[in-house]
Chain A
């Protein structure tokens, strides 16, 4: 219990970081040139920093495990934390553009690893602009699930190209998703919900999941309940709009 007192930004009772020390603006411009380091290619990513228990040292290449889930715009990381215990053997990563929020998730994961030995070793976070650098992190067909939960709606038509789901960006998501991989999107903005759904519907490499498939998928239930944004919407009694699609081989 002694070591916990040393960190003033963490809660004394739970050891978790406190959000009020990681305040950030709600939005970030995805078009601006970035100042953070970006790996040259997926093989340049050092996994020992992210998953020390799975990759004991950076020199060892014996572990063939690859990241399978990516939460794009993970925010404060609520979904990742829930998924981590649901799929303890699957490596997953959150990608977030806002540096303070990324710092919070990093601290949160470290704190959880400390208080629950052996758990939360499969989850990590990285600060990056996923709209620009997805191919720098993942190889072709590597991912099995991608999450786009409550993305920035960018209402103005002028700013629609900043939306994280667009017909052209779906090409890149289809590239990193393996065949059969699933893309989960949810929003509380009806206009954006329609937009994301229509983008996915008109893309030749995605097909919608059937109703019974949605009901059988335990992850779908988490979309609303696990994320901070989802909880907020539920508190205010708001509506959510989700689109869950599967990566398919295009028919040509």
Chain B
């Protein structure tokens, strides 16, 4: 009886659902969505779906993709995930130029600002670096080995970012830590000099983003966490500048009181050329906009944009400069109990142009499907179909919430349960 109780909590972890991810080319040449093992790319310049060129087989990834990202200069694209394969693509020809085999499942990726190094983090807390010097894509896909760069002690790394000036690499983990490490001149020898630790979160850190403006080109780091706060940091000293509680605001909006008070931040996206940060929050249908005042170093909730008439709780956000568009996707793969195990829905919010920032008359608004760049053709590619059965998303949101909890929150056992487990230990057995 007691035995069953203890086992219960661990059974669910076998089914690993993965959230859908989205990434947009820095100048909006293309947009990529990953759902499960499927990587879907739409060419926005040519207004057509992209077919990936990969020598290694029909499907590039064999298990859920956990991280995708464009390089800062838009030349490269990286995808990686549970199949322990990191794929580096040319973001123009969509040819896979480099494949790296990881020892463990990959949880985050980043590309250095000069596009010469790709970093990826595995679930054991090690960040690896791949040197891309000499790869110009003239040959077919090459295999490379990665060198260890740094490590968080056996913690899952949830976020990986290069600072805007390229001086630091920032890594966040599920042990509430953000580590700022000086990115060395010879990364293959490892990054040993820690600039700072950003400590203050009281739950796992789930996402990182840099807010950059013309006045502050070095940028400020914002981080989202399971403790339902977004925090603003000075990375050179590691000091906490401001904390923005979002739970109250979300709870106020829902006003049904069903939420247990925790609103995990699942993704953050700094909108280029502005001081706005969009936050995707578990249980929030829509996005929350946070306004970052860089001169007073404060962070506050600016506005909640809800998506009416649709059950869209975004799992991932993306934006590109000069377009005023915020892209979002909601979706899940490996959803148990449904005919189509992978679903996704892409939405776009427009109106983040510089001019409209201060005047509230041009509020950011979600676009109708037909008004999205690329229209139904784009949606067909990225979603897999134009219309998606909405009922799935309620189940999907629940499944994702559970999966994130299982993965990142430490299991709490009562004293009795711990004592019960110890009872079977060899040294506690009563000697005959």
Contact = CB atoms under 8 A, between A and B. Distances in A.
B202 A40 contact: yes
B150 interface: yes
Contacts of A169: 151, 153
Given A25-B427, A33-B411, A252-B185, A161 B154 contact: yes
Nearest to A140: B196
A168 B150 contact: yes
A35 B418 contact: yes
B94 interface: no
B199 to A, nearest CB: 4
Contacts of B201: 40
Nearest to A33: B410
Interface string B178-197: 01010011000111111011
Interface string A94-130: 0000000000000000000000000000000000000
B184 A252 contact: yes
Contact of A135 (B155, B177, B193, B410): B177
Interface centre among B177, B181, B201, B413, by most chain A C-beta atoms within 10 angstroms, is B177
B126 interface: yes
Contacts of B427: 25
Interface string A29-41: 0010111000011
B184 to A, nearest CB: 7
Contacts of A175: 194, 197
Nearest to A204: B192
A135 B199 contact: yes
Contact of B154 (A25, A31, A172, A250): A31
Interface in A35-75: 35, 40-42
A250 B177 CA distance: 24
Interface in A191-245: 203-205
Nearest to A129: B153
A171 B192 contact: yes
Contacts of A189: none
Nearest to A206: B192
Interface string A156-168: 0000010000011
Give the contact-size bracket for chain A. 20 to 34
B137 interface: no
B72 to A, nearest CB: 24
A205 B192 contact: yes
B153 A132 contact: yes
Interface in B25-78: none
Interface centre among B151, B197, B413, by most chain A C-beta atoms within 10 angstroms, is B197
Nearest to B199: A41
Contacts of B177: 135
Give the contact-size bracket for chain B. 20 to 34
Nearest to B190: A167
Contacts of A174: 192-194
Nearest to A162: B154
A250 B200 contact: no
Contacts of B124: 161
Nearest to A252: B185
Contacts of B192: 170-171, 174, 203-205, 250
B148 interface: yes
Nearest to B125: A168
B348 to A, nearest CB: 38
Contacts of A252: 184-185
B221 to A, nearest CB: 16
A6 B154 CA distance: 44
A168 B189 CA distance: 12
Interface string B187-223: 0011111101101111000000000000000000000
Nearest to A39: B199
Contacts of A82: none
Contacts of A35: 413, 418
B200 A41 contact: yes
Interface string B381-420: 0000000000000000000000000000011010000100
Contacts of A171: 150-151, 181, 191-194
A131 B410 CA distance: 17
B208 to A, nearest CB: 17
Given A135-B177, A135-B199, A168 B193 contact: no
B175 interface: yes
Contacts of A41: 199-200
Interface centre among A31, A35, A171, by most chain B C-beta atoms within 10 angstroms, is A171
A136 interface: yes
Interface in A1-37: 25, 31, 33-35
Nearest to B189: A204
B176 interface: yes
A94 to B, nearest CB: 20
B199 A168 contact: no
Contacts of B238: 140
A168 B194 CA distance: 11
A168 B153 contact: yes
B186 to A, nearest CB: 8
A132 B194 contact: no
B317 to A, nearest CB: 27
A189 B410 CA distance: 34
Given A35-B413, A140-B238, A170-B192, 12 more contacts: A40-B176, A131-B153, A135-B197, A161-B124, A168-B126, A168-B150, A171-B191, A174-B193, A175-B194, A203-B192, A205-B192, A250-B192
Interface of B: 124, 126, 148, 150-151, 153-155, 175-177, 179, 181, 184-185, 189-194, 196-197, 199-202, 238, 410-411, 413, 418, 427
16 contacts: A40-B199, A132-B175, A135-B199, A136-B199, A161-B124, A167-B190, A168-B151, A171-B150, A171-B151, A171-B181, A171-B192, A171-B193, A174-B193, A175-B197, A250-B193, A252-B185
